[in-house]
Structure 1
Amino acid sequence: MNDKSIKIGDIVKAEITGLQKYGAFVKFGKYRGLIHISEIKSGYVADIHDVIEVGQTCQAQVIDVDEFNGKISLSLRTLEKKPQTHHAQRRFHFNNPSNKIGFKPFTEQLSGWAKEQMTYLKSRKENIIT
């Protein structure tokens, strides 16, 4: 994916093109992406067919762009008035004022994860290698 016109945080008008038990495939402009079932709405979704359907259009937010594999992840949940987090590792990202929409690119968040882990280990008074 050489075109950098799509970036994390963009809000796009997407059309649902297919449904699987794990998520919805969408197309928007010249791009295609996936809305994972956990990103459809806050709370538990037992059957994706009860919430959305093929052919439906909706506003979605880009939450990850994997340029290496050419994959784009989107979310409907982040556009809710009060999105709830349900993954422990996302708790940090949604509470961090510099990142309100989900994951940062791996290279940007690696140092943050390392600092967070070091702080945790020090608080547990475990032996760590520095």
Structure 2
Amino acid sequence: MSIEVGSKLQGKVTGITNFGAFVELPDGRTGLVHISEVADNYVKDIHDHLKVGDIVEVKVLNVEEDGKIGLSIRKAKDQSERPDRPQRPRRDHRSNERNERQSRESFEQKLAKFLRDSDERLASLRRATESKRGGRGARRG
């Protein structure tokens, strides 16, 4: 039996590590389900989701030339079984207008603003460090 990328199979969890779970496939070969492919949400401890001996449905993500098989439990679930993910909010057109205004500012204007801010910061830094060293005319002992 040939294992093809994209196929869904049933397998048995044979081992669990801190980075994933090893699943024995029907043809006797073993693949790895990385911890990020166990569930749709963040998995801190894989033992909360799987235990050795569990029968799970997996989807084949990749088959390497050296025989390693990458599997996914979360992608094996149908879309109807997956919890609804919240839609990302649409970008506000006003923020695009603000970005356009900022990009219209010329390079020279941006550079002048940067130099002004930099000079102010250096001046305040110099004042703070000179007072700690005893000022300009302090004698060293």
For the pair 1:71 / 2:68, whether they are aligned, the reply is yes
| Residue of structure 2 equivalent to 1:124 | none
Identity of aligned residues (%): 40
In terms of fraction of residues, the more helix-rich structure is 2
Q: CA deviation at 1:43?
A: 1.5
Structure 1 alignment gaps of length 5 or more: 85-130
Q: What is the TM-score of this pair, normalised by structure 1?
A: 0.57
Cα distance in 1 between the residues matched to 2:3 and 2:83: 23
Q: 1:11 to 1:19 in 2, by over 3 A?
A: same
Select the residue among 59, 62, 83 that pairs with 2:60: 62
Q: What is the TM-score of this pair, normalised by structure 2?
A: 0.53
Cα distance in 2 between the residues matched to 1:9 and 1:59: 12
Over the residues paired in the alignment, what is the CA RMSD in angstroms?
A: 2.0
For the pair 1:13 / 2:17, whether they are aligned, the reply is no
In terms of fraction of residues, the more strand-rich structure is 1
For the pair 1:48 / 2:46, whether they are aligned, the reply is yes
Q: CA deviation at 1:83?
A: 7.7
Select the residue among 2, 20, 30 that pairs with 1:32: 30
Q: Which has the higher contact order (CA 8 A, sep 6+)?
A: 1
Cα distance in 1 between the residues matched to 2:83 and 2:72: 11
Figure out how many residues of one structure are paired with residues of the other and give that number.
81
Show CA shifts across 1:11-60 (max 9, x none): 11110000001000010122110000000011200000011100000111
Q: 1:12 to 1:83 in 2, by over 3 A?
A: farther
**What is the one-letter code of the residue matched to 2:63?**
V
Structure 2 alignment gaps of length 5 or more: 85-141
**Which runs of 4 or more aligned residues in structure 1 lie more than 3 Å from their structure 2 counterparts after TM superposition?**
none
